[in-house]
């Protein structure tokens, strides 16, 4: 309360007169009216509130578009891998024909596994080229939908193409896709096949897929309505509008164009709500500040030398400061998982403790997510700095790391892929992260570290820090990152944390780490009790930085079932 003492002293040094308070509140012999002071504060507060809400809106839009581009290119990579499942059987069928000199029986037996109802192709035909003439040697499945001249033209193109060739079959858009493949170096045989697509071209994305938040449409060669191949929306909703991203995938002698649009907030609902939260909260605080300012002037006019009144006003301002800090803490907790997942093999506990200094949102976070029936992944991270920009970077990195882990990438590879998502020079922030992947059957845990503190292992009453190789923080350098694996014993626990738990100003970090190790050896009834003991022993009124802690302990229970999903295959 040093500010209150100085102000009171200044008030006592300037005596009041019978005509009203002198000093800075008088201009040209006329006193400033309290109502005008409130108006000025209100206008300034409204300008700041609108500016902050606008910045939050712009940051959310930019972050959403970045997430959309990332997910679209990830979906394009998945589609590219499914194209191989189409071209490989055709190439193998061609090799079989060449190796058997066009033996129809051998071709029929091989392609029968890929042709028929519910299979990859609805029809497959082997052609033999003799000069300019083409002769059908063998055929599997139904009769081709493409006319004979059309097949002749497509196969002729394939005889001179280094890759397979593609055409859409249908008067008002492709109802089937025709494929032809040959070897220009030995143009003796060619294989032609047709694959059916739904009549309405709708192939929905599974609800548990990593891409369930996207609407999509794929086109053959161009984005004209006549070239639409598959989509997950009704024809009346095409073309996709709003914020969209596009990716092109090589598809034989043409391209498969993927256009995607978000169904909602890719980064979670908080990003869209933040501008309104800032706007409503800022207006409320502005009104309160304007009223408080007017009241301050009125009180000061009534009793300029009353130090008790000044102290009371500072107490009120401290209350507003506390309210603003409460809002910051609420926003921070909204960015974190609202509950922990249930994994039969694990006992899971988490903690978040806001620091004592400042009212800005912090960048500490944790996340644990099941991957499938056997695997789960977890992340504990910390973004440098504070404020809306740090929270935005935290939300972006949390979503990106989670998306890559759900795709099945190992921890070191996930960190490698995330290095391009953050640049300290452009974003003004860097991030540290500890990424882990666990196997609930073998209790094997694989860890990778980007500039973060190594986790604590508690096993059979002993504690120790796991020697995970430490790579550079995300946004500082491109890596490399190395992984470390260990098999944890039944009943053992792993505790991952951010630096606010162990760092103290003017104290070596080793002292804080030893304090953590000592606290972890104290008896506790369960994992929640262990975190209560550890956090209680290492925090206090002087804790300055935010703290995020994630811990899990193995149980002796069999793993539960899993679900999986994927984007629909290419046409």
* pLDDT above 70: percentage of residues in the chain: 84
Same domain, 321 and 345: no
Same domain, 404 and 439: yes
Structurally, how many domains does the chain consist of?
3
440 pLDDT higher than 70: yes
CATH of the domain at 410: 3.60.40.10
188 pLDDT higher than 80: yes
**CB distance 179 to 166 below 8 Å:** yes
| Distance of alpha carbon 568 from alpha carbon 571, whole angstroms | 9
Same domain, 498 and 365: yes
Same domain, 322 and 437: no
CATH of the domain at 124: 3.30.450
Boundary (domain end) residue, out of 278, 299, 329: 329
Q: Among residues 366, 417, 422, which one has the least CA distance to residue 390?
A: 422
Same domain, 44 and 160: no
449 pLDDT higher than 90: yes
85, part of any domain: no
Per the model's pLDDT, the better-predicted residue between 383 and 176 turns out to be: 383
Same domain, 368 and 313: no
Q: At residue 101, what are phi and psi to the nearest 5 degrees?
A: 55, 45
66, part of any domain: no
Boundary (domain end) residue, out of 196, 219, 243: 196
86, part of any domain: no
Which of 208-217, 451-460, 557-566 shows the lowest per-residue confidence on average (mean pLDDT)?
557-566
Work out the average pLDDT over 133-158: 89
Same domain, 312 and 414: no
pLDDT in tens, 3-49: 433 333 333 444 444 444 444 445 444 556 778 877 888 888 888 98
453 pLDDT higher than 70: yes
220, part of any domain: no
Same domain, 400 and 518: yes
Cα R_g (the chain), whole angstroms: 33
How does residue 565 score in pLDDT terms, banded at 50, 70 and 90?
very low
539 pLDDT higher than 90: no
165, part of any domain: yes
Same domain, 285 and 350: no
pLDDT in tens, 335-374: 677 789 999 889 999 999 887 555 557 789 999 999 999 9
280, part of any domain: yes
519 pLDDT higher than 50: yes
135, part of any domain: yes
96 pLDDT higher than 50: yes
Domain that holds residue 289: 2-61+269-329
Q: What share of the chain is helix, strand, coil (3-state, %, to 5)?
A: 40, 25, 35
Please name the residues in contact with 516: beta carbons below 8 A apart, sequence gap of 6 or more: 456, 497, 501, 502, 534, 538
Q: Which residues face 166 on adjacent strands?
A: 179
Boundary (domain end) residue, out of 157, 178, 196: 196
2 pLDDT higher than 70: no
Same domain, 435 and 536: yes
User: How buried is residue 90: exposed, middle or buried, by Cβ count under 10 Å (0-12/13-18/19+)?
Assistant: buried
226, part of any domain: no
Same domain, 293 and 179: no
Same domain, 111 and 177: yes
């Amino acid at each position: 309360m040093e500010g209150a003492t100085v102000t009171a002293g200044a008030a006592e040094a300037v005596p009041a007169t019978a005509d009203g308070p002198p000093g800075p509140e008088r201009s040209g012999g006329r006193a400033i009216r309290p109502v005008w002071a409130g108006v000025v504060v209100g206008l300034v507060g409204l300008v700041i509130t609108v500016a902050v809400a606008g910045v939050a809106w712009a940051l959310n839009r930019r972050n959403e578009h970045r997430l959309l581009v990332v997910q679209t290119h990830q979906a394009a990579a998945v589609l590219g891998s499914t194209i191989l499942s189409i071209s490989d059987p055709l190439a193998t069928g061609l090799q079989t024909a060449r190796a058997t000199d066009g033996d129809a029986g051998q071709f029929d037996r091989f392609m029968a596994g890929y042709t028929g109802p519910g299979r990859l192709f609805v029809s497959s035909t082997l052609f033999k080229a003799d000069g300019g003439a083409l002769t059908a040697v063998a055929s599997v499945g139904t009769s081709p939908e493409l006319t004979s001249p059309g097949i002749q033209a497509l196969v002729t193109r394939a005889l001179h193409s280094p890759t397979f060739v593609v055409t859409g079959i249908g008067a008002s858009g492709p109802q089937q896709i025709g494929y032809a493949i040959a070897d220009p170096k030995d143009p003796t045989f060619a294989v032609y096949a047709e694959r059916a697509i739904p009549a309405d071209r709708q192939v929905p994305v599974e609800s548990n897929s990593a891409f369930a938040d996207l609407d999509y449409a794929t086109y053959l060669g161009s984005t004209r309505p006549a070239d639409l191949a598959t989509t997950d929306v009704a024809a009346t909703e095409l073309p996709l509008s709003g914020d969209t991203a596009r990716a092109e995938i090589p598809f034989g002698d043409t391209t498969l164009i993927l256009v995607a649009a978000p169904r909602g907030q890719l980064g979670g609902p908080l990003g869209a709500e933040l501008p309104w939260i800032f706007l409503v909260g800022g207006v409320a605080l502005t009104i309160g500040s304007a009223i408080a300012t007017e009241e301050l002037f009125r009180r000061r006019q009534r009793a300029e030398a009353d130090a008790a009144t000044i102290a009371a006003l500072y107490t009120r301002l401290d209350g507003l400061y506390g309210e603003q800090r409460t809002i910051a803490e609420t926003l921070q907790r909204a960015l974190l998982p609202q509950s922990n997942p249930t994994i039969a093999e694990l006992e899971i506990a988490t903690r978040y403790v806001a620091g004592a200094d400042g009212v800005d949102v912090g960048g500490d976070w944790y996340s644990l997510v099941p991957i499938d029936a056997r695997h789960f992944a977890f992340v504990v991270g910390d973004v440098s700095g504070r404020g809306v920009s740090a929270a935005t970077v935290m939300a972006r990195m949390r979503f990106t790391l989670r998306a890559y882990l759900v795709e099945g990438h190992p921890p070191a590879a996930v960190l490698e892929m995330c290095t391009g998502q953050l640049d300290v020079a452009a974003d003004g922030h860097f991030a540290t992260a500890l990424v882990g992947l666990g196997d609930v059957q073998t209790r094997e845990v694989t860890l990778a570290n980007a500039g973060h503190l190594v986790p604590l292992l508690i096993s059979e009453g002993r504690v120790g820090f796991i020697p995970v190789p430490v790579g550079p923080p995300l946004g500082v350098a491109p890596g490399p990152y190395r992984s470390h694996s260990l098999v944890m014993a039944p009943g053992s626990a792993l505790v991952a944390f951010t630096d606010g738990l162990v760092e103290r100003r003017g104290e070596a970090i080793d002292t804080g780490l030893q304090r953590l190790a000592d606290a972890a050896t104290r008896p506790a009834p369960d994992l929640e009790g262990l975190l209560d003991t550890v956090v209680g022993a290492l925090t206090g009124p002087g804790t300055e930085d935010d703290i995020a802690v994630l811990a899990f302990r193995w149980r002796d229970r069999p793993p539960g079932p899993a679900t999986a999903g994927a984007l629909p295959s290419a046409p």
